[in-house]
Amino acid sequence: MAQPTDTNPTEGVLYIVSTPIGNLEDITLRALRTLKEVDLIAAEDTRHTRRLLVHYEIDTPTTSYFEGNQIQKGERLVARLKTGESIALVSDAGTPTISDPGYRLLIQCIDADIAIIPIPGPSACIAAASIAGLPLHNFVFEGFLSPKSGRRKRQLAELSEEKRTLIFYESPHRIVVFLQDVLDVFGDRQVSVARELTKKFEEVLRGTVTEAIQKFQETSPRGEFTIVIEGFLSRKE
C-alpha cells in the first residue's frame, strides 16, 4: 500500500478510516482500498463492521477494539504495527475517535513513533451541521453531555454564553429531557434536530427548542439524533 515518504518501511501504519453513518454508499474509494489492503481491521463491533465488509466483498481479518479492551488490545495492536503490519481502525459509524474509541490507540502509536494516516469521510456531526441552517464559520462540538440532568444542566450553563453554534449527540430516549434542559438553561433558541441522516427515515426539524420538544412529545423519538443549536445572541449581531 502506498505510504508517505517519511514512513519507516519496517513499521506498519495505523489508518483511521471513516465509514458510513447509515447509507453504505457513503464511503470513499480510498477507504475501500485501505480496508482491502491492510493486514487487519480493528473494529468497535466486528459483527457490525462485517455487514459493510460483506457488502463490498472485503475479506480482511477483523479484531475488536472497543472501550472495554482498549488498553491491552492497544498494546497488542502496537506490537503488530511494530512488526510491519498495517491496521485500519473503524468504529460502528462515522469517524473513529469522534465520540468513539481510538484516542488511546492514537496516543500509544504516537508514543511508539508509528505513522498514523486519516482516511476522511462521514461524521454525523459534520453532516448535521452542514444542513442546519445556522452559522458555521466556527462551531463547538460537544458530543454527548451527561445522561444525568443535574450534571447536564451544569454543562449547559457553562456553554450558555457561547456565541458559536453548538453541536450535540443525544440518544433517542433522552432527546426530550435534553431539549427541556436546553430550554431551561439557554432559552428558546433556534435548533436543528437531524434524525437518521443518510438512512430511510432521515428527517430534519428546524425551529425553536419549544417546537422541537412539542414534536418529540407527540411522536416518540426513534433512531439516531444530532442536535445543532444557535449560539448565544447569534442572530442579534
Of 2-10, 82-90, 163-171, 183-191, which part binds ligand SAM (CB under 6 A)? Answer: 163-171
Give the number of other CB atoms < 10 A from CB of residue 204: 16
- For residue 42, the SS3 value is strand
* Total residues binding ligand SAM (CB under 6 A): 24
What does the block give as the cell for 85? 503490519
Residue 117 in contact with ligand SAM, rule: CB under 6 A: no
Residue 101 in contact with ligand SAM, rule: CB under 6 A: no
CA end-to-end distance (rounded Å), the chain: 50
Residue 221 in contact with ligand SAM, rule: CB under 6 A: no
Of 24-32, 174-182, 212-220, 221-229, which part binds ligand SAM (CB under 6 A)? Answer: 221-229
| Residue of 7, 99, 149, 234 interacting with ligand SAM (CB under 6 A) | 99
- Report how far apart, in Å, the C-alpha atoms of 60 and of each of 38, 48, 53, 86, 116 are: 7, 15, 8, 11, 19
Give the number of other CB atoms < 10 A from CB of residue 109: 24
Residues interacting with ligand SAM, by CB under 6 A? 21-22, 91, 93-95, 98-100, 123-125, 128, 169-171, 194, 196-199, 224-226
